[in-house]
Structure 1
């Protein structure tokens, strides 16, 4: 059963009736989405800060939904733009496998209580929950496979009570709001608690050169990696995209790699006057098959990274380089990628994508 409409507390009588009907019908999958708008608008609203538009008081979920008898049939629960306060005698959802909390008014204690009392949970998403400062899983969730944490502005800590032998968390998606190198976070941020991650998506904002920590840890289970890098060097460039060649060393079994870059400073496509391209010793990577680099502005370090990946990946089947729609001088960047990267392609696996020249700058900025 799905309730999907822009409603709030003054409509409580109607919503209560639908919730009671779902309970009486022993609903297994229940969606209460009272936002009436797409999820992307939450980010815009948070970015407005004190200028945020006044919101209506959210609907309070009735306590009967959380009683042991009424909630025992639930296997999937998705809540959006509601207020949730668990009753003191909450015993958990015995059969719940999927839980999604988006724009939910909920305390740290109630998040912890829900996680600790849903032993069969496999998927957990929490996004745009403005009150949450900590996510704690004190009891081991041995079945948890997918964790999505998406822009909770006050969140400072995630504590997973899972040992390396029992942890089955394989799919992680993270957004870092503070300026922090995604590469240093990958190496030091969570590997001790999530060594078995297979799919990782990470968005970060970067200003400084990454100090790559040297250590023995490797993501021996990581197969799919997507990094979304917002590089904001407005003055002198301090970051070095070539640092991400280190990914091939710490993820020896990676099969797909996506690097989506948004360079927010001045753009100067590489030319031979910038000096010789840095060519390090290739690291023979035996599993990487697919690479996609978007936001290719033709910077020297971008060219160097693409060449390093190409020369190091002995099993590579496809490599796509594209400026996407935010690139202003697409023709020059297309030629640079073609000249330096395609020339080194001995197996005809590189595809340099060109953005149509008729796209206006305003349209490209909106797409970015």
Structure 2
């Protein structure tokens, strides 16, 4: 730790300091450090610190006493800004009271100039409306550009904060560019006119209805990103009336949602939930689609049957799905002429195997310009590694030369026959392949760490041995890279340590220090 005139600079924090060619005095008493340039640099440094740490710099000198009051990013977290007390309801109310007082103190002392971001995270509700409304008045007065109210709680509460739309008009909200609202009540009036320049809007755990959603976003002609997470009253979402400024739509865990109507200008779509129809108005500009599907039964079935045929420009497709049945791929199936990156996360939650992974070879034909293919799998413990004496000869398909595929990553490779056959097919037919990464561990498709079986490590060892014996033998271009699994590790380490060694180490370190 180095010392600069009483200022402690922690190792690794030098990115907070001005460039080497900028000379700045930190004494606070000379004319140089009182110049506009020096002031701006000091404010820039302070604004990269958490508000709690920034306020502590006021003890350094009389000059520094007010520097923190120009902090441009005001982020308040209940857990970091309130003292740890007991676990009674009285203690919880006292902690909340102290948190609110500290937020109020910061706003009262702040200069009100050049505020970029205000973020408040804590379990607040309508009981605290008087204070929150005052904070919103500060947001309006300071022309804050980025607002976050995150009032989520693990436990249900009686009255979520009722967002006061009456405080915002077309003019005094025109500065707001980004807004995230979590666990608040949204009931905009029918004649509501505001947020004309809003570019990013994310709603999480709100009670917004179909009608209120339309009212809320009807004025947002500049909206580029719309995120909707766990909004339980939403049944239909239409963005087709929005301007073509909306480029990115993210919808997650809205359990009553039955349909999404897309706008023409959308280029990126993220969705997590049950299988629902996507209703495009016509050919779309979508280039990036990420779908995490619940209750879907086949990824191939979804790709060739449920994806809109109007996705003519799709370049990146990511799909997470449970494999519960074998799909029948149409002979004249859809082709993705612009697809360059395909990522599949496949889960097999049933004991009986329902699919044949060699069927996935048709994806090479369906995407002739594919450059990167990721196949991430998780299989239950009941599937066996390939042995010729038990499973017969390996199958092979007619040649399907592919001239563009360069990178392949397969995880959850446990050496099953159809896994090996698919990997061999890709290796043999990809003329331009540069790297094929094989990892026996289920790095990406695992639903949760608690679903790991204590004996799964031996499956990883099977996958490693099969890949070495068959894939590496077929690798004449030295492109196959198999992640090593050692028997001594499988026999001595837990399966969690095998799959997530860094997480286990961090957890143990945290437990030992607490």
Same fold flag (TM > 0.5): yes
Q: Does 1:351 align with 2:484?
A: no
**Conserved in 2, the CA contact under 8 Å of 1:148 and 1:174?**
no
TM-score by length of structure 2 reads 0.63
- Which residue number in structure 2 is paired with residue 105 of structure 1? 207
The superposition leaves residues 120-142 of structure 1 with CA deviations (integer Å, 9 ceiling, x where unpaired) of 32222222222222221231542
Cα 1:31–1:313 change in 2 (3 A) is: farther
Structure 2 SS opposite 1:292: strand
For 1:328, which of 453, 457, 473 is the aligned residue? 457
TM-score (norm 1): 0.85
Shift of residue 293, structure 1, vs aligned partner: 1.1
| Equivalence for 2:291 | 174
The aligned residue for residue 42 of structure 1 is: none
- Quote the residue 2:369 is aligned against: 253
Per-residue CA distance 1:267-293 (angstroms, 9 max, x = gap): 211111212222112322222222211
The structure whose residues are more often helix, as a share, is: 2
CA contact (8 A) 2:190 2:215 kept: no
Tell whether the 8 Å contact from 1:321 to 1:351 is kept in structure 2 after alignment.
yes
Judged with a 3 Å threshold, the aligned counterparts in structure 2 of structure 1 residues 317 and 188 are, in CA distance, closer, same or farther, namely same
Deviates more, 1:331-340 or 1:358-367: 358-367
Q: Specify the SS of the correspondent of 1:179.
A: coil
2:318 is paired with a residue whose SS is strand
CA contact (8 A) 2:171 2:194 kept: no
Asked if the contact 1:151/1:177 (under 8 Å) is kept, the reply is: no
SS of the aligned residue for 1:341 comes to helix
Aligned counterpart, 1:19: 136
| 2:221 alignment partner in structure 1 | 119
Partner of 2:258: 156
State the 1:97 CA deviation.
Answer: 2.1
Aligned to 1:238: 354
**CA shift digits 1:41-93 (9 cap, x unpaired):** xxxxxxxxxxxx54453222211365322332222222222222222113353
Quick one: distance in 2 between partners of 1:123 and 1:221? Answer: 24
CA distance in 2, matches of 1:263, 1:202: 17
Q: Once the two structures are superposed, what CA deviation does each residue of 1:296-348 show, in whole Å capped at 9, x if it has no partner?
A: 12111111111122222222222111122654212222010111222211211
Number of residue-to-residue matches in the alignment = 351
Q: 1:202 to 1:12 in 2, by over 3 A?
A: farther
Indicate the residue corresponding to 1:57 in structure 2: 159
The alignment's C-alpha RMSD in Å is 2.6
Tell me how far apart the structure 2 counterparts of residues 170 and 67 of structure 1 sit (CA, whole Å): 35
Distance (Å, rounded) in 2 between the aligned partners of 1:212 and 1:319? 26
**Which string of whole-angstrom CA distances, capped at 9 and with x for unpartnered residues, describes residues 180-223 of structure 1?**
21222122223334332322222112211112234453222322
In structure 1, runs of 5+ residues without a counterpart are 38-52
Tell me the CA shift for residue 107 of structure 1.
1.0
Query: What is the alpha-carbon distance in structure 1 between the residues aligned to residue 354 and residue 494 of structure 2?
Result: 30
Q: 1:192 is paired with a residue of what secondary structure?
A: coil
Which of 169, 172, 187 is matched with 1:67 structurally?
169
CA distance in 1 between partners of 2:151 and 2:195 (Å): 22
What's the counterpart of residue 109 of structure 2? none
Paired with 2:255 and 2:296, the residues of 1 have a C-alpha distance of 14
| Contact 1:205-1:231 at 8 Å conserved across structures | yes
Larger relative contact order (CA 8 Å, sep ≥ 6): 1
Change (3 A) 1:79 1:166: farther
Question: Which of 469, 473, 476 is 1:339 aligned to?
Answer: 469
> What residue is the counterpart of 1:225 in the other structure?
342
Query: Which shifted more, 334-343 or 139-148?
Result: 139-148
Counterparts of 1:156 and 1:164, CA distance in 2: 17
Query: What secondary structure is seen at the aligned counterpart in 1 of 2:132?
Result: helix
**In terms of mean alpha carbon deviation, does 216-225 or 258-267 score higher?**
216-225
Q: d(CA) in 2 for partners of 1:101 and 1:336? A: 47
Q: Distance in 2 between matches of 1:65 and 1:245?
A: 57
Contact 2:262 / 2:281 at 8 angstroms: preserved in 1?
Answer: no
| Mean CA deviation greater in 120-129 or 53-62 | 53-62
Rounded to whole Å, the distance in 2 between the matches of 1:242 and 1:288 is 17
Out of 123, 138, 158, the position equivalent to 1:6 is 123
Structure 2 distance, partners of 1:113, 1:217, is: 38
Structure 2 CA distance, aligned partners of 1:141 and 1:195? 20
